[in-house]
Amino acid sequence: MAASMDSMFRLLAGKRKMHRIVLRSGVIMNVKRWLATVANYQTTVDNSLTELKTFRKHPGIMRTKNVKLPDALLQTLNRYLADKPMKQLAPRAKALSNYLWSRQLPLEEAQLRAKAQEYAQLQGVEDIDEDMLHSQDLPKDHKKKVASIMNKLRRHIYHWQPIRFDETTVCAYTMSRIAPNYATIYRVLHEIKKRVPDFSPEALLDFGSGIGTVSWAAHALWGNTIKEFYCVDTSREMHDVAEALMKERQTEDGESRNIIKGVYFRHFLPMSLQKKYDLTISAYSLLELPSRTDRLNTLRTLWRKTDQFLILIECGTNEGYKTIMEARDFILNDIQKEEERNLLKRRVAEGVTREVAREEVGLVEHSTTLAGHVFAPCQHDQDCPRITDSSKTPCNFEQDFHHFSKREEIIKERFSYLVLRKGPRISGDDTGHWPRIVRPVLPRSRHVICRLCCSNGQLEEAVITRAKHGRELYRCARYSAWGDLLPICRPQENVLPEQQTDTEGLHSDSD
């Protein structure tokens, strides 16, 4: 009896400890846990890792530590900045970086009207229009109310404006963004190379290419395998700097050769849909488009130009995450339906009956012709669970890098990203079902806490111990970090029903 009471107290103490963990996490959410409390119901390391000798570099590790700019890029960058007034540009570079980090999506006209109507109702005004301020027939007190509403809109509504990248602004942008942009792009491309080692891209399309960091990162990973880099940016000054950074110092014959071969700079996306690219990338560019219509039209073109992978990267803010989710939903749902409708029309025009055509569309739905799937960071194509978890935090990740002017200082950059791959999920891909670690790993005494996004589309919290889950999985968890995949083998028949702990209303200060 005494032994059973001791066990009960230990269990209760454990539950209290779990609540403290949630308190330290800094978010209010429902936490789902799956704990292997019975030997027969055990979450274990993936079978492919049972003979692994070291777990420090297990195949689920996707992060790249302390990314540095390539030596060739450093040389050309220092040459480019040599005659620039660095001290005068430093404050401008910092201000530009902060401005880009706080960048929001431009407000749509319907959203603006709805906000104006909301303020108008508070002032007792039925309808509002800026032309009312100049109307001769409107009573004076009514004009005052309209003016008050307009002032409130100007103060509280985000005023999106395009950034004019002149020579000075491009220089400030290069100083502040070349290192973090390169690091995050390299990290995302590195995951593709690691998970699909046989993938050898030959053509790359970079939308919003800027100063060429995508080309540098791709070249660092695949070298001369890539024969064509198609770089699209509306700014001539951006193209000039990108081209300058890719040229070696002039030789004795007066020529300066390109470090990266096959780079083409253009101001617009290619019109023809015949040519497709193995890698299609938009990094830190969607937030710079003036409207939702422009974003969706661009995404439609990029997806149609993609042969293998479409990669989207934005800053790790709520706005960046929202932009990525808009793109994810549009490609997985709207574009899929569009292509199904187009196929249906085409088959009917060819003389096939509508009933037969509908059956064919149903069969093709999961074929490589129409379908695509999320390759990373999600391990599923369902709605992102962050949207409904009530935490109001973005799905973002963190990458360490060295700034070119402070080689010894390690800086962290947060980013949100999405990698879509054409065709259905590959059943033989071991990493395709491993859950993603979506928050910092918490190593504790004799256990490790991992917050995971799983292949079932759910956020879960795993408390992993050596005793319950085995040495291999425990070691893998301790050596894993935010953004990695946890190599878990969790057959459905070997899993306890999920236990939900309601922690709503609990607050904390930090993670």
| Token digits of residue 84 | 């620039």
Count the helices and strands in the chain (H runs, E runs): 14, 16
Shared-domain flag, residues 151 and 217: no
Helix or strand run (H / E) with residue 352? none
**Is there a domain that residue 223 lies in?**
yes
Closest Cα partner for 227 from 209, 212, 215, 214? 215
Kindly give, in sequence order, each residue whose CB lies less than 8 Å from that of residue 284, ignoring residues fewer than 6 positions away.
100, 177, 181, 208, 210, 313, 314, 315
Residues 6+ apart with CB under 8 A from 2: none
Pairwise CA distance, residues 472 & 442, whole Å: 17
Q: Which of 357, 388, 410 is the last residue of a domain?
A: 410
Q: Are 128 and 233 in the same domain?
A: no
Integer CA distances (angstroms), 406 to 97, 181, 463, in order: 17, 16, 38
Q: State the helix-helix crossing angle for 318-329 and 292-305, rounded to 10 degrees.
A: 60
Q: Which 8-state DSSP code applies to residue 160? A: -
Containing structural domain, residue 136? 109-156
Is 345 contained in some domain? yes
Residues 217 and 324 both lie in one domain: yes
Domain stops at, among 137, 156, 175: 156
Closest to 314 (Cα-Cα) out of 332, 326, 331: 326
Are 148 and 261 within one domain? no
Q: Name 67's bridge partners.
A: 401
| pLDDT tens digits for range 230-272 | 999 999 999 999 999 999 876 666 677 889 999 999 999 998 8
Q: How confident is the model at residue 52 (pLDDT cuts 50, 70, 90)?
A: low
Of 389, 410, 431, which residue constitutes the final position of a domain?
410
Q: Is residue 49 part of a domain?
A: no
Tell me the pLDDT tens digit for each residue of 132-179: 544 555 566 666 676 777 777 777 777 888 999 999 999 999 999 999
User: Residue 414, exposed/middle/buried by CB under 10 A (0-12, 13-18, 19+)?
Assistant: middle
Which runs of E-coded beta strand occur in 339-446? 372-376, 397-403, 406-422, 436-437, 442-444
pLDDT on residue 30: 36
Give dist(CA 288, CA 401) in Å, integer: 24
Residues 204 and 326 in one domain: yes
**Strand pairing report for 447-453 and 459-464:** antiparallel
pLDDT of 127 = 61
The model's confidence at residue 335, banded by pLDDT at 50, 70 and 90, is confident
Phi, psi (deg, nearest 5) at residue 500: -105, 125
CB within 8 A of 379, min separation 6: which ones?
432, 433, 434, 435, 436, 453, 454, 455, 485
Range from 347-361, 413-427, 474-488 carrying the lowest mean pLDDT: 347-361
Secondary structure of 78-92 as H, E, C letters: HHHHCCCCHHHHHHH
Helix axes 213-222, 167-195, angle to 10 degrees: 30
- Statement to judge: residues 262 and 357 lie in one domain: yes
> If you average pLDDT over residues 320-326, what whole number do you get?
96
What average pLDDT is seen over the chain? 79
pLDDT the model gives residue 196: 93
Both 193 and 258 in a single domain?
A: yes
User: Are 97 and 90 contacting, i.e. CB atoms less than 8 angstroms apart?
Assistant: no
Question: 326 in a domain, yes or no?
Answer: yes
Q: Contact 130/85 with Cβ under 8 angstroms?
A: no
Cα 145 to the chain's mean position, in Å? 43
Are residues 294 and 353 both part of a single domain? Answer: yes
How far is residue 480's CA from residue 437's CA, in Å, rounded to a whole number? 8
What are the distances in angstroms from CA 281 to CA 189, 305, 386? 10, 11, 24
DSSP H helical ranges for 135-212:
140-156, 167-195
Q: For a pLDDT cut of 70, what percent of the chain falls above it?
A: 74
Confidence of residue 201 (pLDDT cuts 50, 70, 90): very high
Task: Please give the helix or strand (H or E) that residue 498 lies within, else none.
Answer: none
User: Which alpha helices (H) appear in 25-166, and where do they start and end?
Assistant: 71-81, 86-101, 109-123, 140-156
Q: Say whether pLDDT at 348 is over 90.
A: no
Torsion 8-10-14-17 (CA) sign: positive
- Same-domain pairing of 122 and 210: no
Pairing of strands 203-207, 277-283: parallel
CA-wise closest residue to 331 among 306, 314, 361, 313: 306
Let me know whether 273 and 397 are in one domain. Answer: yes
CATH code of 243's domain: 3.40.50.150
The three-point CA angle 392-421-363 to 5° equals 110
- What type of residue is 294? D
Within-domain flag for 459: no
Same domain, 129 and 231: no
Q: Same domain, yes or no, for 140 and 180?
A: no
Task: Output the pLDDT for position 206.
Answer: 98
The yes-or-no verdict on residue 382 having pLDDT over 80 is: yes
> Chain centroid to CA 244: how far?
29
